[in-house]
């Protein structure tokens, strides 16, 4: 216990924490991974904190060019390296740039470190997820396993996983980090102006991939059905005037929701990326799409991914109106007597909305209440469109 009058040590900033974890992975896992062995023994480097990214200073010109091309705000088109400098750090790491993840907290801290190299095929990237449960790995490691299986089998470019593992107590705080080292694909951020086109392209490629990998059909679990019913009941009865679209009849939509959730026909399941929205895509020079961030990958309802893509559209409701079942899945769905595709997408949205209140309250606490409310209204409108039969 600290004595009276002794100041409590300040917690490391997000930038410092990411750099410390990066150095810990380089140091402790170097003997196990050939690509990381070359990173051991790094000298102390200075870094500038730009808020969303932390960049070594100075960087060789050829690495600056690569970083500026890769780390771009897709909405403004500006390099993240142009964001104002908010601080500086020093670390014994060879990482050139660190990109901090969203929704950072002590139990949910994620980042990606970049080892830039001008030669094709030599650049790598390290993604890490901090956790506090010593005996339970984060989704990142399972996602890396799924990523390895998907590579070469689906019509997206999937970065190769070079190594993966865990660092225990890398910061000396009783916390652990899971990590995966990947090849850095030579590609650029998809600009926001191409969103609508890319949404349609992604849905087509996802359907093609599912046709290749195969599917199965399983009824919705009773626990999911009950949670979705309860969540929607709470949403439709909310009187705050923020989360329900005023133009929709609550009673009429609630009746359709109860009907679709009571339908016993099975859902289509298979390999799911988990979050294939436009923000997790890059475009290669020859026009292919790179699918990143596989930490939520697994086997689940395929329309979970469809809902994620639709929500990343510039106009999710308009994109939902145009939604159709992938041609390669229709025969298998018919043979299994599956729930119609649009109804499956609606069910996936309802399953996500089951815990809307907790998510919304956390968003409000972070000052993002209006953004969360807008997203909830949009999802309700999407459900209304999908069940409009």
Residues 95-142: tens digit of each pLDDT: 999 999 876 565 678 999 999 987 877 899 999 998 877 778 889 999
For the stretch 327-335, contacts whose Cβ atoms lie closer than 8 Å and that sit 24 or more positions apart, written own/partner, are 327/207, 328/207, 328/208, 328/210, 328/211, 329/207, 329/210, 329/211, 329/215, 329/268, 329/302, 332/215, 332/217, 332/268, 333/217, 333/268
Cα–Cα dist 351/297, whole Å: 17
pLDDT of residue 169: 62
Structure confidence by residue, pLDDT tens digits, 42-100: 578 999 999 899 999 999 888 998 898 888 888 888 899 999 999 999 998 999 999 99
Q: Does the pLDDT value for residue 329 go beyond 50?
A: yes
Which strand ranges, in their side-by-side order, compose the sheet holding 97-100? Answer: 87-92, 44-49, 53-56, 97-100, 109-115, 124-131, 176-183, 161-168
Which strand ranges, in their side-by-side order, compose the sheet holding 281-284? Answer: 187-189, 281-284, 289-291
> Looking up tokens 């050829």, which residue turns up?
62
pTM of the model: 0.89
Contacts of 270 (CB under 8 A, 6+ apart): 210, 213, 214, 215, 216, 299, 302
Better-predicted residue by pLDDT, 101 or 263: 263
**Residue 104, Cβ density class (10 Å: 0-12 exposed, 13-18 middle, ≥19 buried):** middle
pLDDT of residue 255: 96
Structure tokens belonging to residue 111: 């980042």
Contact by Cβ (8 Å): 372, 283: no
From 100, 117, 118, 98, select the one nearest 109 (Cα to Cα). Answer: 100
pLDDT of residue 105: 60
pLDDT of residue 30: 55
Measured CA distances, 273 to 2, 81, 165, 280, 303 (Å): 47, 29, 20, 10, 11
Binning pLDDT at 50, 70 and 90, where does residue 8 land? very low
Burial code (b: 16+ CB inside 10 Å, e: under 16) for 212-234 equals eeebebeebeeebbebbbebbee
Taking the C-alpha atoms of 354, 358, 362 and 363 in order, what is their torsion angle to the nearest 10 degrees? 40
pLDDT of residue 11: 57
Structure tokens belonging to residue 341: 């595709």
Across the range 268-294, mean pLDDT stands at 95
Binning pLDDT at 50, 70 and 90, where does residue 172 land? low
Across the range 335-360, mean pLDDT stands at 97
Cα–Cα dist 207/210, whole Å: 5
Cα 310–Cα 313–Cα 314 angle in degrees, nearest 5: 150
pLDDT of residue 2: 36
From 313, 279, 323, 117, select the one nearest 190 (Cα to Cα). Answer: 279
Across the range 365-369, mean pLDDT stands at 89
> Mean of the per-residue pLDDT values for the chain?
89
Radius of gyration of the chain (CA): 22
Measured CA distances, 97 to 12, 19, 50, 182 (Å): 18, 10, 11, 15
Per-domain boundaries in the chain: 14-185, 192-386
Across the range 315-334, mean pLDDT stands at 96
Pick the CATH number of 192-386 from 3.90.1200, 3.30.70, 1.10.3470, 1.10.150: 3.90.1200
């Amino acid at each position: 216990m600290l004595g009276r009058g002794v100041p409590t040590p300040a917690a490391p900033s997000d930038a410092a924490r990411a750099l410390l974890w990066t150095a810990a992975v380089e140091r402790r896992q170097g003997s196990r991974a050939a690509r990381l062995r070359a990173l051991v023994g790094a000298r102390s480097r200075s870094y500038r904190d730009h808020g969303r990214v932390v960049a070594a200073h100075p960087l060789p010109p050829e690495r600056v060019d690569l970083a500026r091309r890769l780390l771009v705000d897709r909405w403004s088109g500006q390099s993240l390296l142009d964001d104002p400098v908010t601080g500086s750090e020093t670390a014994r790491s060879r990482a050139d740039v660190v990109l901090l993840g969203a929704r950072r907290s002590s139990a949910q801290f994620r980042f990606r470190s970049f080892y830039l190299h001008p030669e094709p095929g030599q650049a790598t990237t390290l993604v890490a997820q901090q956790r506090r449960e010593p005996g339970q790995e984060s989704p990142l490691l399972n996602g890396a396993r799924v990523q390895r299986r998907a590579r070469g089998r689906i019509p997206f470019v999937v970065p190769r996983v070079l190594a993966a593992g865990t660092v225990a107590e890398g910061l000396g705080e009783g916390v652990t980090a899971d990590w995966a080292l990947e090849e850095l694909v030579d590609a650029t951020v998809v600009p926001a102006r191409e969103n609508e086109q890319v949404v349609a392209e992604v849905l087509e490629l996802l359907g093609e991939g599912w046709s290749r990998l195969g599917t199965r059909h399983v009824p919705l679990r009773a626990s999911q059905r009950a949670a979705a019913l309860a969540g929607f009941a709470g949403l439709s009865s909310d009187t705050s005037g923020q989360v329900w679209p005023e133009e929709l009849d609550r009673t009429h939509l609630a009746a359709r929701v109860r009907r679709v959730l009571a339908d016993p026909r099975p859902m289509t399941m298979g390999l799911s990326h988990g979050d294939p929205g436009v923000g997790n895509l890059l475009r290669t020079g020859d026009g292919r799409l790179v699918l990143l961030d596989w930490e939520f990958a697994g086997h689940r309802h395929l329309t979970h991914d469809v809902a994620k893509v639709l929500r990343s559209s510039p106009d999710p409701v308009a994109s939902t109106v145009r939604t159709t079942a992938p041609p390669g899945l229709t025969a298998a769905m018919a043979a299994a007597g599956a729930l119609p595709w649009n109804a499956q997408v609606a069910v996936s949205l309802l399953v996500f909305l089951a815990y809307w209140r907790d998510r919304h309250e956390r968003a409000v606490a972070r000052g993002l209440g209006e953004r969360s409310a807008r997203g909830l209204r949009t999802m309700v409108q999407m459900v209304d469109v999908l069940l409009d039969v």
